[in-house]
Amino acid sequence: MKGLVVRVVLAVTRWRWVRWIFTRTRVGRRVSLRFVAGETLAEAIEVAVAANRAGMPVSLNLLGENVGDEASARSSFDSYVAAIGQLRQHGVDGNISVKLTQLGLGFDVELCEQLLGDLARRASAAETTLTIDMEESSLTDATLDIYQRAQQAHGNLGVALQAYLRRTPQDLARIASLGGHIRLCKGAYDEPESIAFRSRQDVNDAYDALAETLLADEGLMPALATHDDARVAAAMTAVDGRSAPYEFQMLYGIRVSLQEQLVDDGVPVRSYIPYGEAWYPYLTRRMAERPANLWFFVRALLGH
């Protein structure tokens, strides 16, 4: 059922008039950018500073993926170098999150690894870290291979794992010895049943089991990316007795009251802050993975 909802929502958001409402009308853009820090790095830094003041470190993510040439990959690299510099200049407690297809994974693995290694070195010099976002399952092997080599070389990286993929327990076992931080999310891509769990209950069960495994490993830094009350509650039970750091990671603009409550309770929460001009595909995935977000957009556009 969830897969059907995802496919329907993604199909609707591809309609030209729907895209026009969200990207070209004043009300549509205002509502949409509730979930995106802005189109510029300066706007993202402003949001990051505010998040720090509210007690949350941040992770900046330049929106965009699947670049098709070296010039575009190097442009993404330059943008992330600038983000690292601005984090340090403004004294922001934060890091960066990168999709490898932004750095050329789709057409030149060697270039991608070179750019990622340079970003890791620059992040290290700025006393921060770098997280590799996970993309479609067809890229999982390549992403983990590159992460393993980069983490062994630099030691300041992390990677995202998707709980709905049937392979994830084995992937976690493979990379656990590398240390680093592991962001656990449910998964936002439409994958076939042979590769991914499709029922909500199966995904939730997989998430809880993986979170428990992560939290039991004192050598890892678990980053639990969820806005689900039940998943948060299960993780908090698993946290009991843990002496090593951990954190929740939540998307900017999603479940704001939950984020504030956790921070008030002394629970570590990192705000994942997307920004950039390529924000519409990101927006459509947020609506597809949580239909309540779509209802929020409709109500806001109708003035309610």
What's the token pair of residue 79? 């943008």
Q: What is the number of structural domains in the chain? A: 2
User: Which residue is catalytic, options 7, 34, 74, 133?
Assistant: 133
Mean pLDDT per 10-residue section of the chain, whose length is 304 residues: 54 58 62 81 97 98 92 97 98 98 97 98 98 97 98 98 98 96 92 94 97 96 96 96 96 92 98 85 64 59 52
Work out whether strand 247-251 and strand 130-133 pair parallel, antiparallel, or are unpaired.
unpaired
Question: Do 122 and 92 reside in the same domain of the chain?
Answer: yes
Q: The tokens 């330059």 sit on which residue?
A: 78
Question: Do 4 and 105 reside in the same domain of the chain?
Answer: no
Question: Do 4 and 126 reside in the same domain of the chain?
Answer: no
Question: Do 86 and 73 reside in the same domain of the chain?
Answer: yes
Q: Which of 267, 225, 255 is nearest to 35 (CA)?
A: 255
Q: Which of 129, 132, 167, 165 is nearest to 147 (CA)?
A: 132
Question: Do 180 and 304 reside in the same domain of the chain?
Answer: no
Question: Do 21 and 46 reside in the same domain of the chain?
Answer: no
What's the token pair of residue 158? 């992390």
Question: Do 140 and 197 reside in the same domain of the chain?
Answer: yes
Question: Do 54 and 198 reside in the same domain of the chain?
Answer: yes
Question: Do 106 and 223 reside in the same domain of the chain?
Answer: yes
Q: Tell me the residue range of the domain where 120 lies.
A: 38-277
Question: Do 44 and 18 reside in the same domain of the chain?
Answer: no
Question: Do 152 and 286 reside in the same domain of the chain?
Answer: no
Question: Do 1 and 55 reside in the same domain of the chain?
Answer: no
Output the domain CATH number for residue 103. 3.20.20.220
Note the pLDDT of residue 12: 54
Per DSSP, the three-state class of 290 is: coil
Note the pLDDT of residue 38: 85
Note the pLDDT of residue 253: 87
> Is residue 9 a contact partner of residue 287, using CB atoms and an 8 Å limit?
yes
User: Which residue is catalytic, options 183, 231, 286, 290?
Assistant: 183
Note the pLDDT of residue 304: 44
Helix (H) or strand (E) holding 274: strand 269-275
Q: 183 catalytic, yes or no? A: yes
